[in-house]
Structure 1
């Protein structure tokens, strides 16, 4: 094979290395945080709840984004001579799956808010009574965005940007396509998620027809908890995640704005498990149990009585010997 005509050496340029190095270290930290979270998921059955499936699906997309980054980082770090056909396929995968995985995250969180709203308003287990609808929602969320990306490429509405020695990117060809992509990837899912969240909060705050003060207090307490949990999670998510999808249709990832958006996105991936675990009481309880166990073991070891050595011989001799030594 003639390397000059049949393959291409793929490496990071110096400029790209400056951009990708901080992301690399952030991704290492994010991987450690996610592994700790999933170890907790495996060990403690109390956190394996069907009602948390959307959050777990969201965190799985985080893991896939980390996997994607490490695969393509190593792919360029090895400086391999890659055949052009394989290089093109890898470039498309690199460009598509970054945008695809970030896109489905917004719809996963929308599905989470819709299910939460239905549970609060109708007071029934959505995940048990609407099992088929949940499965259909999963299928639509995972496949429709991927199909839409393929249609955009096949229709010539989105072009592959393949700079030499840098990350591949997928950019819409016109302003109208960019605005349509922005509408379906950000405006619609985020707006609907916030609407369902506000409707849920409004329904919880409404105490009409409830005569028992205890029920009113319990509902208001849950209302305050929901406000804190939702506001913290969505604030972190919107601040760190939004720039990536807002910038993507207009700037390449290697530009200064694109680089900042990528860094914020991977910081969001790092803090996602921390925020979810910190806001859910089940995770706090699961981590409290081993802490209490260790504390009990430590106290037990401290309280073990020291064995007393009994000396042989008459007791009066022992006392006399002790008094003489003093």
Structure 2
């Protein structure tokens, strides 16, 4: 009696695209590892105010790990059992949608906390850290709820399984369902972020009484978020539109390059724009350079002893 077997191997054209995915994902993963090494070795970077930043970057790492798993399973020879296929296919389909929801609203939460810090002079992270953690957990549950309500409760989203001609993805019942998801994941976060960025920018430009150092810090936070969000919109949004609106699979293949490129750029934005990380990288590089230089050795102080003897004899 032969067991049923599912082939998950990509065809040749998708393997070539997968190699390009991998060429972007490997340096992205290396940059993320370097980033987290800095966070782990420098206590000054482990602050509650960076909670949304770190959660946002964690989602990037999870997407990269999922890509590595997908590439491994889709390029290996042979086949897998139906149970293993269903698990891997579900991970492929749900991971992208789930992480998209998380990243979109994590950027909103980051923007709101900085709005309160700059405009209201109210540090939520230091005043109410427990509330911040509760919102963090609720956001993860919110992403799960959106998927479960559509797939299990109403059945308007179905899992489309591909055995050997592409990756598994979610199929929406009609174009209205796709646009509804696009409105929740893209339009609402964009409107909220634009509002808080505009209000915060106006406040910083009109604040004449603020100290120069404080105003510089606020401008730095604004520029950092602006650059981060522009990269997210340019690189990530095509993948979201292709996933939620377009029903055919091919556009999602090429739009996915943007999400991987976004994961590549995200740690670099914080490394080179945030002054805290810049200072840490300068200290680390100076230590590496000092370790590479030969140490100058000081000889014994025999001359001074001889001078003391001669002076005593006189």
Match of 2:234 among 220, 234, 239: 239
The corresponding residue for 1:271 is 265
In 2, are the aligned partners of 1:8 and 1:83 still within 8 Å (CA)?
yes
Determine the structure 2 residue equivalent to 1:9: 7
State TM-score, norm by structure 2: 0.87
The answer for the alignment partner of 2:182 in structure 1 is 182
Cα RMSD over matched residues?
2.5
Partner secondary structure for residue 29 of structure 2: helix
Distance in 2 (CA, whole Å) between partners of 1:268 and 1:299 is 37
In structure 1, what is the equivalent of residue 161 of structure 2?
162
Q: In 2 relative to 1, CA 157–131 (structure 1 residues): closer, same or farther, beyond 3 Å? A: same
Following the alignment from structure 1 to structure 2, what is the Cα–Cα distance between the partners of residues 253 and 306?
A: 76
Q: Distance in 1 between matches of 2:240 and 2:252?
A: 10
Task: For residues 162-202 of structure 1, give each alpha carbon's deviation from its aligned partner in whole angstroms, at most 9, with x where no partner exists.
Answer: 23312101021111101110000111012202211221222
How far is the alpha carbon of 1:12 from its aligned partner? 1.3
Structure (1 or 2) with the larger CA radius of gyration:
1
Decide whether the 8 Å contact of 2:204 with 2:218 is kept in 1.
yes
Distance 1:145 1:298 in 2: 48
Offset, 1:13: 1.2
Q: Which residue of 2 aligns with 1:324?
A: none
The separation in 2 between residues aligned to 1:13 and 1:54, in whole angstroms, is 39
Q: 1:124 to 1:7 in 2, by over 3 A?
A: same
Residue of structure 2 in register with 1:321 after alignment? none
Maintained 8 Å contact 2:118/2:200 = yes
What aligned pairs does 1:74-153 form with structure 2 within 5 A after superposition? 74-153=72-151
Matched residue, 1:58: 56
**Mean CA deviation greater in 181-190 or 245-254:** 245-254
Partner in structure 2 of residue 316 of structure 1: none
Q: Secondary structure at the match of 1:167?
A: coil
Q: Answer yes or no: is the 8 Å Cα contact 1:37–1:273 preserved in 2.
A: yes
Q: Secondary structure at the match of 2:245?
A: coil
SS at match of 1:160: strand
* 1:202 corresponds to: 202
Structure 1 runs not aligned, ≥5 long: 311-326
Structure 1 CA distance, aligned partners of 2:298 and 2:292? 14
Unaligned segments of structure 2, at least 5 residues: 304-314
Shift of 1:66: 0.9
Q: TM-score, normalised by structure 1?
A: 0.84
Shift of 1:46: 1.5
Instruction: Write the distance in 2 (CA, Å) between the matches of 1:13 and 1:123.
Output: 56
* Counterpart Cα distance in 1 of 2:31 and 2:247: 29
